[in-house]
Amino acid sequence: MILRIILAGVVIFFSGCASVPNDQLYRDLGEMDGITRLIDEFVFEISGNAKLHEQFKETDWERFHEKLVTQVCELSGGPCVLEGDSMAEIHKGMGVKESEFNSLVENLMVAMDRLAVPVSAQNRLLAKLAPFHKDIVEQP
């Protein structure tokens, strides 16, 4: 698991060098049906994660699911547009710790593995999501 996180970091670093069409990731994730299944599985993983219980105890799961589907659709080059508050505004004052963020990433990786998302697509999605780290994790 640690090796995959390190590899994802390398991919993130070099992602600017890749020449993949904007919507290729969207297609590789299975378009809207595949993204929806991925977020279904991801939300299932989060809901059972004791490390994240406090952060998600008052979550509107339906809205959370809907926003994640839209976000992943947009980030992957799909036809969606995410509207609303920024990630920084949403997470301000939540006190999200690095360990909680890492646990969330692990949940996403488990969900992608369970759905047999190709590793290259997993790494490209993680690279698209990585910049949000600074908006989510509250620095001590």
- C-alpha 102/C-alpha 32 separation (Å) is 26
Q: Sign of the CA dihedral 47, 26, 125, 85?
A: negative
Does 91 belong to an annotated binding site?
yes
Q: What is the pLDDT of residue 4?
A: 52
- Threshold 0.85, pTM exceeds: no
pLDDT at residue 18, rounded to an integer: 47
CA distance 136 to 61: 18
Reading phi first (left if > 0) and then psi (alpha if -120 to 50, else beta), residue 95 is in: left
- The torsion defined by the Cα of 15, 16, 18 and 23, in degrees rounded to 10, comes to 90
Token reading at 21: 């069409």
Domain ranges in the chain are 2-14+31-136
Alpha carbon distance 130, 126 (integer Å)? 6
Q: What is the pLDDT of residues 18-59, one digit of tens each?
A: 445 578 999 999 999 999 999 999 999 999 999 998 888 888
Burial 83-102 (b: 16+ CB within 10 A, else e): eeeebeeebeeeebeeebbe
What is the pLDDT, as a whole number, of residue 17? Answer: 43
Q: What is the pLDDT of residue 32?
A: 97
Given a cut of 50, the residues of the chain with pLDDT beneath it are 2-3, 6-7, 10-19
CATH class of this structure's domain 2-14+31-136: mainly alpha
Residue among 32, 113, 112 nearest 73 (CA): 32
